[in-house]
Amino acid sequence: MSDALPVAEAALGYVCAISPYVTGKPIEAVAREFGLTDIIKLASNENPLGASPKAQAALRELPALHLYPDGGGFALKQAIAERFAVPPEGIVLGNGSNDLLELAARAYLSPGTNAVFSAHAFAVYALATQAVGAAAKVVPALPPDHPQMPYGADLPAMQAAIDEHTRVVFLANPNNPTGTWVDAPALEAFVAAVPSRVLIVLDEAYSEYVPPEWFADGRFPDGLALAKRYPNILLTRTFSKIYGLAALRVGFGLAHPSVAAILERVRQPFNVNALAQHAAVAALADEAFIERSRAVNDAGLQDLQAACATRGWSVIPSRANFVTVHLGVPAGRVFDALLREGVIIRPLGGQLDTGGLSCFVRITVGTAAQNARVIAALDRVLPALKAAP
């Protein structure tokens, strides 16, 4: 920062060292840069069906825009409490579930403490940890040749990494950007072994995409049941994925009321706007849309995985709404080539790469037509990319 103004140089060193989060490239930016009009975005794991119809109808009934929103989020908390059978005082609302991750870091981490999370984890875990001056203990993931879950979280290794300075463990299930997951027995054993003084942030942004039968037979853990049994769990969910409300930025955390009360102390007033609260209440009740979204995702996930397999592209096991694919070419080059095809995907490497994913891209599951288009675009660009020096 040698060219910075003195006031900029006076900022905290660990804040200055942060590389700001890079979002998925907007459709509008691609249109401006390449003069394209027919563009699809499969980069940010948004719902290809759009928003819940009930939420869209609710938004036509605009609240009084000159009044502040309900800072306590009473109606939304009541709806969440009824849906998940939890007390309202154990619910914390966030400006997206990212906000909950930041709140956990602000409330529990500081210089001299650390957070534990897996390699290939969501980039915000590292950013939130660094922003408060804490140390990140990044645990190597399972190896690429692991027979069950290549690149997945190694829970015994994460447990072993916890020390007397650990205050937070971040764990996404399913994980972003890999799509991997941990099963019920493994997560139960891990949670039971983590010291009760350590906050376990169980990030379930993609859990609604898991088939219900997976919860019944133990292939996927019931995070909500665990959160009700273990008071050191903060379960985070979002309305940005299956509910289709990414533009409104609303998420929530479920925790023991004593933990929720701590997070409320660092939560910004009015962090969830009135439109978001109103739409989220309606979306939460739209069971038909949730089921349809899950069905479209299941079919699309299978189609993309099959298409990749027939071409010899290695796919990391996924139970989310995206596939992470090894294409044998640096991800940035694939990303740039696809932009010219009017297709936006997410290249890994850099911020989203904690080691070993630089030739992987993440592709959101779209509609059948969108899935076919991204595969066709890859078929066109990959031969030239692989032939280039």
Q: In which band, very low, low, confident or very high, does the pLDDT at 324 lie, cut at 50, 70 and 90?
A: very high
Q: Which stretch of DSSP H or E encloses residue 362?
A: strand 360-364
> In the listed set 237, 261, 286, which residue is the last one of a domain according to the structure?
286
106 and 151 inside one domain: yes
User: Which pLDDT belongs to residue 335?
Assistant: 97
With pLDDT > 70 as the criterion, what percentage of the chain qualifies? 97
Task: State the average pLDDT over residues 93-104.
Answer: 98
Domain assignment of residue 231, yes or no: yes
pLDDT at 354 over 60: no
User: Which pLDDT belongs to residue 257?
Assistant: 98
pLDDT at 9 over 80: no
Give the CATH number for residue 238. Answer: 3.40.640.10
Question: pLDDT (tens digit, 9 = 90+) per residue, 235-286?
Answer: 999 999 999 999 999 999 999 999 999 999 999 999 999 999 999 999 999 9
Task: State the average pLDDT over residues 70-89.
Answer: 97
Domain assignment of residue 45, yes or no: no
Return the closest-CA partner of residue 42 out of 375, 387, 383, 379: 375
234 and 86 inside one domain: yes
21 and 60 inside one domain: no
pLDDT at 4 over 70: no
User: Which pLDDT belongs to residue 386?
Assistant: 92
Name the phi and psi angles at 196, rounded to 5. -65, -15
Task: State the average pLDDT over residues 135-151.
Answer: 96
Domain assignment of residue 316, yes or no: yes
How far is the C-alpha of 168 from the C-alpha of 166, rounded, in Å? 6
85 and 232 inside one domain: yes
Domain assignment of residue 369, yes or no: yes
CB atoms within 10 A of CB 386: 11
Domain assignment of residue 133, yes or no: yes
339 and 326 inside one domain: yes
336 and 197 inside one domain: no
130 and 23 inside one domain: no
Task: State the average pLDDT over residues 277-303.
Answer: 97
For 284-305, give one letter per residue: b (16+ CB within 10 A) or e: bbbeebbeebbebbeebbebbb
349 and 279 inside one domain: no
> In the listed set 286, 301, 335, which residue is the last one of a domain according to the structure?
286
Task: State the average pLDDT over residues 328-341.
Answer: 96
Q: In which band, very low, low, confident or very high, does the pLDDT at 296 lie, cut at 50, 70 and 90?
A: very high
- For the chain, the C-alpha Rg in angstroms (whole number) is 21
How far is the C-alpha of 380 from the C-alpha of 178, rounded, in Å? 25
Domain assignment of residue 168, yes or no: yes
CA distances 256 to 162, 192, 252, 333, Å, are 22, 16, 13, 46
Domain of 122, in residue numbers: 53-286
117 and 73 inside one domain: yes
- Supply the angle between the helices 97-108 and 257-266 in degrees, to the nearest 10: 90
> In the listed set 263, 286, 309, which residue is the last one of a domain according to the structure?
286
pLDDT at 8 over 90: no
Domain assignment of residue 327, yes or no: yes
User: Which pLDDT belongs to residue 356?
Assistant: 79
Task: State the average pLDDT over residues 150-179.
Answer: 98
Kindly report the pTM of this predicted structure.
0.94
292 and 331 inside one domain: yes
Tokens of residue 307, six digits: 């298409």
297 and 310 inside one domain: yes
Task: State the average pLDDT over residues 312-333.
Answer: 96
366 and 263 inside one domain: no
pLDDT top residue among 182 and 12: 182
How far is the C-alpha of 98 from the C-alpha of 102, rounded, in Å? 6
Q: In which band, very low, low, confident or very high, does the pLDDT at 3 lie, cut at 50, 70 and 90?
A: low
How far is the C-alpha of 332 from the C-alpha of 285, rounded, in Å? 40
User: Which pLDDT belongs to residue 388?
Assistant: 84
- Count of structural domains within the chain: 2
Domain assignment of residue 220, yes or no: yes
Lowest mean pLDDT across 6-10, 330-334, 352-356: 352-356
Give the CATH number for residue 322. Answer: 3.90.1150.10
Name the phi and psi angles at 145, rounded to 5. -100, 15
User: Which pLDDT belongs to residue 201?
Assistant: 98
